Amino acid sequence: MLENINQRVDDTLNELENLPSEDEKSDELVLKLQELIQERQILLDDFKDDNVEVVRTVLNEQLLITQSFEKRASKVLLHIQSLLNLRKKNQRQISIYQSVDSNK
């Protein structure tokens, strides 16, 4: 189950990395990613095994996977933020031009 969630998180991050942030699907993918991460966290919290070494090994592996996901998600977030800032700047410029044009 955990491997399945990890794969789905990976697939969602791949889609986000390859999708322009202005695409409306990106909002849906971000929500999907949040849900998957929550599911994953619940599975990790509930992970049990009688063998302490197995638990240690699995949790260490999952920590590395988490760090990888975190780096990728941070890059996606920065990209989306930069595009949103650019969009705001462009909208302000359009507003200024419209204001100047209406004052003629």
Q: Where are the domains of the chain?
A: 2-102
Burial classification of residue 40, based on how many CB atoms lie within 10 Å of its CB (0-12 exposed, 13-18 middle, 19 or more buried): buried
1-19 mean pLDDT: 93
* Residue 13 confidence (pLDDT) above 70: yes
Asked whether the CA dihedral 5, 9, 12, 18 is positive or negative, the reply is: negative
Q: Is the pLDDT of residue 18 over 90?
A: no
As a whole number of angstroms, the distance between CA 77 and CA 85 comes to 12
Q: Answer yes or no: are the C-beta atoms of 2 and 62 closer than 8 Å.
A: yes
Instruction: Please tell me the least confidently modeled range out of 17-31, 50-64, 83-97.
Output: 83-97
Confidence of residue 88 (pLDDT cuts 50, 70, 90): confident
Q: Please report the pLDDT score of residue 91 as a whole number.
A: 74
